């Protein structure tokens, strides 16, 4: 049985090789590729929404709209928006174990630049004066707080590496995203690590099984001289393995094929392997295989509930403190110093995560309706749980009703009473 030693030593030893194998599998194994895409979708979706706390309503709306406008141009490379930046970092966290980005203050405001995690100089480890130290490219002060990152301007496999040594970047400018598996962890480890071996063995088994099926499906014929006269002018050679091939064999020879019974066990072995991979990633099996053959409402809901709770844990305990809160604080400070906003610099904010599509929306809405009627939740909370801002919804409803009244329209919703009568709400 294997053993696991000090966390940072184990992660440092396996970070590169595990990450590179995970990246290969995420790009080439259909099951892991599907699982990675689903994990990123559940973590980020269309992007979180900001809600500001502690301000007057009009002031709060101005700040939220300003941040939303900035989010659309947050990407340093001008290829996506803040949601796209977060999705790339989340994917790197799942595949490589960690996501990396730099924050740049520009005349046009804050910009976020995503980097590949191997920009960090993993080989740089040293003990510095005053109790400071560098561990796997991350510098700590005497109190154990991160103060700097040593980053390569070019990725380590680049041809310019020898001319571009790692540079010291202040930790305040770096966004380093990873979900720790233990206290004091310095670098992240790929989420695919427990599933890589199973996925690799499954690929090899499927290739061998497919080859056996191809051979058994070939309609080949063998001709043998049974007259013992040698009266044939055919030249005997190696058999030709292709459909419809006719091969002549010399007298006294025979052909036998092995007939393994592995084909009949294939579905069970495939299912067992997929279950092991799904368990390793912490996802429901259908999010890995895409197979909903035996699924129903109860099984889908039972599988999704613990998975969504796990994703919420990563969102609020990892994504928010490591990325979203530093971005908000850096953006807010820049807006205040530039004079574009006049609010306290310690203004707090909450984040509304996108809600995944429901298995049965009607049943979920019925439960929400009962909770509202019993006073177990507020309308704002119910709207936030759907991934929207209550302020946005109320403003849109007000604008819709004003426009309907102006145009003489009436889209008043109705509901059906238990007796079958239709009444206006």
Q: Compute the mean pLDDT over every residue in the chain, rounded to the nearest whole number.
A: 84
Q: How far apart are CA 176 and CA 188, in angstroms?
A: 9
- pLDDT, tens digit (0-9, with 9 covering 90-100), for 261-305: 666 677 888 888 999 999 999 999 999 998 888 777 778 878 888
pLDDT of residue 265: 73
pLDDT of residue 424: 40
Of 41-55, 257-271, 313-327, least confident by mean pLDDT is 257-271
Q: Is 423's pLDDT higher than 50?
A: no
Contacts of 242 (CB under 8 A, 6+ apart): 218, 220
Q: Is 259's pLDDT higher than 60?
A: no
Q: 387 to each of 50, 52, 71, 157, how far by Cα in Å?
A: 11, 15, 17, 41
Domain count for the chain: 1
Contact call for residues 209 and 269 (beta carbons, < 8 A): no
Asked whether residue 81 is assigned to any structural domain, the reply reads yes
pTM of the model: 0.80
Asked whether residue 130 is assigned to any structural domain, the reply reads no
Count of other CB atoms within 10 angstroms of residue 114: 22
Asked whether residue 173 is assigned to any structural domain, the reply reads yes
Contacts of 393 (CB under 8 A, 6+ apart): 383
DSSP string for 296-340: -HHHHHHHHHHHHHHHHHHIIIIIIIIIIHHHHHHHHHHHHHTTS
HEC string of 38-50 equals HHHHHHCCCCCEE
Average pLDDT in the 131-142 region? 94
pLDDT of residue 44: 95
Average pLDDT in the 379-389 region? 75
3-state secondary structure of 346: coil
- pLDDT, tens digit (0-9, with 9 covering 90-100), for 189-199: 999 999 999 99
Band the pLDDT of 222: cuts 50, 70, 90.
low
Average pLDDT in the 52-76 region? 91
Of 52-66, 299-313, 386-400, least confident by mean pLDDT is 386-400
Q: Is 393's pLDDT higher than 90?
A: no
pLDDT of residue 199: 93
Q: Is 227's pLDDT higher than 70?
A: no
Asked whether residue 398 is assigned to any structural domain, the reply reads no
Contact call for residues 423 and 417 (beta carbons, < 8 A): yes
Q: How far apart are CA 302 and CA 300, in angstroms?
A: 6
- Report long-range pairs for 59-65 (Cβ below 8 Å, ≥24 apart): 59/343, 60/391, 61/391, 62/341, 63/341, 63/343, 63/347, 64/389, 64/391
Asked whether residue 330 is assigned to any structural domain, the reply reads yes
Q: How far apart are CA 214 and CA 216, in angstroms?
A: 6
Give the range of the structural domain holding residue 59, as residue numbers without chain letter.
Answer: 1-117+159-207+268-356
Contact call for residues 179 and 315 (beta carbons, < 8 A): no
Asked whether residue 309 is assigned to any structural domain, the reply reads yes
Beta strand 422-424 pairing with 414-416: antiparallel
Biggest alpha carbon distance in the chain? 107
Q: How far apart are CA 100 and CA 397, in angstroms?
A: 40
pLDDT of residue 257: 61
Asked whether residue 284 is assigned to any structural domain, the reply reads yes
- pLDDT, tens digit (0-9, with 9 covering 90-100), for 354-367: 877 666 677 777 87
- Alpha helices (H) along 338-419: 361-373, 379-385, 390-407
% residues pLDDT > 70 (the chain): 81
Q: Is 84's pLDDT higher than 90?
A: yes
Average pLDDT in the 159-181 region? 85
Asked whether residue 113 is assigned to any structural domain, the reply reads yes
pLDDT of residue 14: 87
């Amino acid at each position: 049985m294997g053993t696991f030693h000090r966390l940072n030593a184990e992660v440092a030893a396996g970070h590169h090789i595990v990450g590179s194998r995970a990246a290969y599998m995420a790009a080439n194994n259909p099951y892991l590729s599907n699982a990675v895409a689903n994990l990123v979708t559940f973590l980020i979706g269309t992007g979180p929404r900001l809600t500001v706390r502690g301000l007057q309503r009009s002031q709060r709306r101005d700040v939220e709209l300003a941040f939303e406008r900035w989010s659309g141009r947050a990407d340093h490379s001008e290829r996506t928006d803040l949601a796209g930046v977060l999705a790339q970092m989340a994917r790197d966290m799942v595949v490589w174990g960690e996501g990396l980005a730099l924050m740049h203050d520009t005349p046009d405001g804050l910009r976020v630049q995503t980097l590949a995690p191997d920009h960090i100089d993993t080989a740089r480890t040293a003990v510095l004066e005053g109790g400071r130290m560098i561990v796997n490219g991350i510098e700590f002060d005497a109190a154990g707080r991160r103060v700097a990152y040593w980053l390569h301007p070019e990725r380590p496999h680049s041809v310019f590496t020898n001319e571009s040594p790692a540079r010291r970047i202040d930790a305040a400018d770096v966004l380093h995203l990873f979900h720790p598996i233990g206290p004091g962890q310095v670098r992240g480890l790929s989420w695919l690590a427990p599933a890589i071996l199973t996925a690799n063995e499954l690929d090899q088994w499927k290739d061998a099984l497919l080859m056996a099926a191809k051979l058994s499906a070939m309609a080949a014929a063998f001709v043998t001289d049974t007259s013992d006269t040698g009266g044939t002018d055919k030249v005997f050679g190696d058999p030709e393995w292709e459909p419809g091939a006719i091969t002549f064999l010399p007298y006294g020879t025979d052909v036998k094929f092995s007939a393994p019974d592995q084909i009949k066990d294939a579905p069970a072995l495939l299912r067992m392997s997929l279950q092991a991979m799904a368990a390793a990633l912490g996802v429901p099996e259908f999010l890995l295989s895409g197979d909903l053959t035996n699924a129903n409402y109860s099984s889908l809901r039972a599988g999704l509930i613990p998975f969504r709770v796990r994703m919420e844990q990563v969102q609020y305990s990892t994504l928010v403190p490591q990325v979203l809160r530093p971005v908000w604080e850096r953006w807010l400070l820049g807006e205040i110093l530039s004079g574009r906003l006049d609010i306290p610099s310690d203004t707090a904010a909450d984040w509304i995560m996108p809600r995944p599509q429901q298995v049965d929306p009607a049943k979920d809405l019925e439960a929400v309706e009962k909770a509202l009627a019993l006073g177990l939740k507020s309308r704002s909370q119910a709207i936030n749980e759907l991934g929207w801002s209550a302020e946005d919804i109320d403003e849109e409803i007000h604008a819709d009703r004003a426009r309907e009244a102006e145009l003489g329209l009436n889209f008043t919703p109705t509901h059906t009473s238990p007796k079958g009568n239709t009444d206006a709400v």
